[in-house]
Amino acid sequence: MALRNIVTVGDPVLTKVCRPVTKFDDRLSQLVDDMIETLHDANGAGLAAPQIGILRRVVVINTEGEDWELINPEIVEVSEEQQTGIEGCLSLPGRWGIVTRPEYAKVRAQDRHGDWYEYEGEDLTARCFLHEIDHLDGHMYTEFAEKMLTPEELEELLKEQEDAAEDEDAEV
């Protein structure tokens, strides 16, 4: 396995539409393993192949203590219920914005062997599914963020979330 270099905003590769994966071979398996390693190393929640300069429809996600590999992912269903929260991207380090997305998403995707599965996600996982699939179509969350946060605003919001979590703990 090897770490790959993550490209940042301004690189035209991030604005391109990725091609479907058609060969489920050792090379793909290596790519998926490298992406998972790169994602863990960067401490991120999701990584799409164009972010390492590869224009193929491959996404890896790490949420709920689990790695998800999604090849040729398609959105099957999203909830009407929305979530509004802080979102960032490994291709835009140090910046965060407020983005509203569906609270729940169901996706259909292949694994590295070409078998199709359906995956359901809520909250952060749903947010990651949608954020990463946007990358495959050349889109960044900054295109539809309601607001980009200053470092002060980010700190304040994180503090509020922490306080809210403490209140929840206290109720147990």
Please identify every residue annotated as catalytic: 132
How far apart CA 66 and CA 23 sit, in angstroms, is: 25
Using the minimum distance from each CB to Ni ion, give the nearer residue, 31 or 89.
Answer: 89
Min CB(46)–Ni ion separation in Å: 6
The residue ranges of DSSP E strands in 29-125, in sequence order, are 46-48, 58-63, 66-78, 82-88, 96-102, 104-110, 116-122
Using the minimum distance from each CB to Ni ion, give the nearer residue, 112 or 131.
Answer: 131
**Residues within window 63-92 making contact with Ni ion, judged by CB under 5 A:** 89
Residue 68 burial (CB count, 10 A): 23
Running DSSP on this structure, what letter comes out for residue 81? Answer: S
Using the minimum distance from each CB to Ni ion, give the nearer residue, 44 or 102.
Answer: 44
Interface characters, 19-38, with Ni ion (x: CB under 5 A): --------------------
Q: How many Cα atoms sit within 13 Å of 40 on the Cβ side? A: 12
Count of residues of this chain found to bind Ni ion when the rule CB under 5 A is applied: 1
Using the minimum distance from each CB to Ni ion, give the nearer residue, 51 or 72.
Answer: 51
Interface characters, 96-125, with Ni ion (x: CB under 5 A): ------------------------------
Residue 60 in contact with Ni ion, rule: CB under 5 A: no
Min CB(42)–Ni ion separation in Å: 11
User: What strands lie across the sheet with 96-102, from one edge to the other?
Assistant: 82-88, 96-102, 147-148
How far apart CA 20 and CA 33 sit, in angstroms, is: 18
**In the complex, which residues of this chain contact Ni ion (CB under 5 A)?**
89
